[in-house]
Amino acid sequence: MKHSLVIFLTAAILGTIFYIRANPQLVRNAAQEIVEKAKEVVSETPPSPRTDLLLPDMKIIPPKDIYIAHPSSKIKTLRFNTIFVNQGQGPLEIIGHHDLEQNKTFASQYIKKIDGSGEYRDIGSFVYHPDHSHWHVDNYVQYQIWSIKNKNEKNGIVATTGKMSFCIWDEHTYDLNLPEAAKSRFYTSACSRNTQGMSVGWGDTYLARVEGQVIDITNVPDGQYILWFEINPERRILESNYDNNADWLKIEIKGNKLTVL
Ligand SMILES: [Zn+2]
């Protein structure tokens, strides 16, 4: 009995090897799968175990508009657009609390609960953005350029935006077929320090030419890099899922030419 099992397994393995060798597409698919696996972002933050909350799920989408610009003859920059959406079960809502003594506006996430009530969670502060002349939520998004090792692994940061602040609102629809999607715009573009947010099924795009959508790459030598981008990088905002908070593109900088690989 054991003997026949060995023969069967040997035949099965040899048959599989022959099948794969005869089908280069399978090998290509397997290689593609490895690349896709490598691109998957492994988050160290587990999602909230709470089941009584209607949490947002913020997702950042790879920039579609990305180019090199020269604001002066001595400075070289990478400009990019930022797109993020809410595909969760509840809205992202951020409420400001102005503290006169400290002259600071603290920010809380208001989380709706299934039973109709809600709760607050401190997430940081609202900051006034002098170039935009309105209020932003701090520490919201960051972009980093990494050197590469072993083909697709991050090695070291060579340039970064640091943590960027944003005014969050329902700028455009993303997917109104999501179960909890808001059929019409709820959070408007006031960019105030009272309330900002993003409804389920909605998104926001910051164009590449907007002030702040830039990384200084003056001192970054020509070569291939990983452009890494992440929303809610400190995980202060409670979400149902953090696996889609970061993503990356492989880019090549060659003089003034940028190629997304
Ligand atoms: Zn702004």
Instruction: Please write down the HEC assignment for all residues of 149-172.
Output: ECCCEEEEEEEEEEEEEECCCCCE
Per-residue pLDDT, 185: 96
Interval between CA 189 and ligand 1 midpoint (Å): 10
- Residue 91's SS3 state is coil
Interval between CA 113 and ligand 1 midpoint (Å): 29
Q: Extract the residue ranges of the chain whose pLDDT is less than 70.
A: 1-44
* The three-state (H, E, C) secondary structure of 219-234, written as one string: CCCCEEEEEEEEECCC
Per-residue pLDDT, 190: 85
The contacts found for 174-182 with CB under 8 angstroms, 24 or more apart, are 174/85, 174/86, 174/87, 174/201, 174/202, 174/203, 175/85, 175/87, 175/201, 176/201, 177/201, 178/87, 179/89, 180/54, 180/88, 180/89, 180/90, 182/91
Per-residue pLDDT, 50: 81
Per-residue pLDDT, 35: 45
**Cα dihedral 180, 186, 187, 189 sign:** positive
Distance CA 139, CA 129 (A): 13
Can you tell me which residue has the tokens 């090897």? 17
Q: Which residues neighbour 144 within 8 Å (Cβ) at sequence distance 6 or greater?
A: 157, 159, 160, 161, 227, 228, 229
Interval between CA 167 and ligand 1 midpoint (Å): 5
Distance CA 57, CA 125 (A): 20
Interval between CA 212 and ligand 1 midpoint (Å): 9
On the 0-12 / 13-18 / 19+ scale of CB atoms within 10 A, 184 is exposed
Per-residue pLDDT, 46: 73
Can you tell me which residue has the tokens 């389920």? 200
Domain ranges of the chain: 1-39, 48-260
Interval between CA 163 and ligand 1 midpoint (Å): 14
Interval between CA 180 and ligand 1 midpoint (Å): 27
Per-residue pLDDT, 1: 47
Amino acid at 97: H
**Cα dihedral 23, 25, 29, 30 sign:** positive
Interval between CA 4 and ligand 1 midpoint (Å): 71
Distance CA 110, CA 209 (A): 32
Per-residue pLDDT, 42: 46
CA angle 163, 216, 247 (to 5 degrees): 50
Decide: 62 and 249 in contact? Cβ < 8 Å.
Answer: yes
Interval between CA 209 and ligand 1 midpoint (Å): 12
Interval between CA 175 and ligand 1 midpoint (Å): 24
